[in-house]
Chains A and B, each alone.
Chain A
Amino acid sequence: MINFLRRKKQYLWLFGFLAVTLASFVFGFNPGKEVFGNFTQFFIEMVTFIPFLFIIVGLFDVWFPKEQVEKHIGQESGIKGILIVIVLAMLQAGPLYGAFPVAYILYKKGASIKNIFIYLGAFSSLKIPMLGMEIGYLGIQFTLARTLVSLPLFIAVGYFMEWYLKDRDFKINKI
């Protein structure tokens, strides 16, 4: 029921906007027209790439299931271990708090402290759908620059966390 109402609310916004726009054009209300002009631009910008992005994301999802990558967590260490957690993070979607339960699973599977925090870093900035959006909206140059700067930094954060927490009995609680 709540879900249903929420859905309705979303459409309400859209229809309200369309109604105001229509009225703006009928009565010659300039601000309304200008806002609609902005909206059309954004809409075109979105339509030119977002549907294609989801084709790519959907295909990625079936060809590289995260479950398969998850199997290797904890067994590998060193650079290979880091690579695996980064790839796993890239295959995810959703907000950061969705990464905490996965961090718990990594912890249970015996991933190192360093890799758990590298996972959280990679999760927040290297998810494939998000990279696609970023390329579409901010350009490949921005995306590359941000990614290449971020990657070493959150690996460094991972090393720091491991160094700091090693003798401080670190644990992740199940919720």
Chain B
Amino acid sequence: MGIRNIPAAGTHRKRSRVNNHFRSFVGTDPHQLEVIMINNAFIFIIVSIVLTLLSLLLDRKKTVMGLKKGWKMFQNIAIPFLNILILVSLALYVVPPSLIVKYLGPGSGWGGQMIAAIVGSITLIPGFISYPIASVLIKEGASYAIVATFMTTLMMVGVVTLPLEIAYFGRKVAILRNVLNFITAIVIGTFVGFIL
């Protein structure tokens, strides 16, 4: 990751690690990823404005109700979300990217994917928290296949919640479902890595 030490052409502004990694990750066009991010924001803003207007046209009361509901959900996750951002910022400082590249990078092969699948199965990280983590992993050099495997096991396999699942479905079915989904997650990760 020698790129990090090369000052970016034309900018004397101090950049944090994340930003430098935008550069090394994207390679040829340093602004590409930032542009994608801004585009993303635009998509969200435009879609939400259009939907709100459309909804207002159709039913004023429902729209107000929907906006209130959305605001409430946002309030519920805002503080936990900020906390997780703090944690990720800290982790990003402590964990060297070379470590991430070594164990979760494109060169880590099956081993990396197994690590991702096992960690994803065991941990119980709420979905909305896992996305910033996944995006940092990718920026720091983890491969798409591994991140997709991690996200999928996180969502579909639950070792911690297995007792609860057994209570609902019975031992055999619960274990079968988890094992099947574990395998499926690895297949999904492999395919996603192949596509991207």
A41:B16 contact, CB within 8 angstroms: yes
A59:B51 contact, CB within 8 angstroms: yes
Contacts of A42 in B (CB 8 A): 18, 85, 88-89, 132
Number of interface residues of A (CB under 8 A): 78
Known: A42-B85, A49-B40, A137-B132. A104 touches B70 (CB 8 A): no
A63:B196 contact, CB within 8 angstroms: no
Within 8 A of A (CB), among B155-196: 155-156, 158, 161, 164-165, 167-170, 173, 176-177, 180-181, 184, 187-188, 191-192, 195-196
Contacts of B82 in A (CB 8 A): 14, 43
A38:B152 contact, CB within 8 angstroms: no
Please report the C-alpha to C-alpha distance between residue A145 and residue B43 in the assembled complex, in whole angstroms.
Answer: 19
Contacts of A50 in B (CB 8 A): 74, 81
Please report the C-alpha to C-alpha distance between residue A130 and residue B180 in the assembled complex, in whole angstroms.
Answer: 22
Contacts of B86 in A (CB 8 A): 13-14, 17, 39
Please report the C-alpha to C-alpha distance between residue A130 and residue B37 in the assembled complex, in whole angstroms.
Answer: 17
A45:B37 contact, CB within 8 angstroms: yes
Per-residue A-contact encoding for B32-44, CB less than 8 Å = 1, 0 else: 0000111011011
Contacts of B195 in A (CB 8 A): 145, 149
Contacts of A137 in B (CB 8 A): 131-132, 134-135
Q: Is A56 an interface residue (CB 8 A)?
A: yes
Contact residues of B: prevailing secondary structure: helix
Contacts of B155 in A (CB 8 A): 96, 124-125, 130
Within 8 A of A (CB), among B83-100: 83, 85-86, 88-90, 92-93
B73:A54 contact, CB within 8 angstroms: yes
Contact residues of A: prevailing secondary structure: helix
Tell me how far the C-beta of B139 lies from the nearest C-beta in chain A, rounded to whole angstroms.
10
Known: A103-B168, A150-B152. A46 touches B85 (CB 8 A): yes
Within 8 A of B (CB), among A84-119: 93, 95-97, 100-101, 103-104, 117
Please report the C-alpha to C-alpha distance between residue A121 and residue B85 in the assembled complex, in whole angstroms.
Answer: 28
A145:B196 contact, CB within 8 angstroms: yes
Tell me how far the C-beta of A29 lies from the nearest C-beta in chain B, rounded to whole angstroms.
12
Segment with Cβ contacts to A, from B4-12, B101-109, B122-130: B122-130
Additional A-B contact list (5), CB under 8 Å, known A37-B17, A58-B70: A37-B14, A41-B16, A61-B66, A173-B167, A175-B168
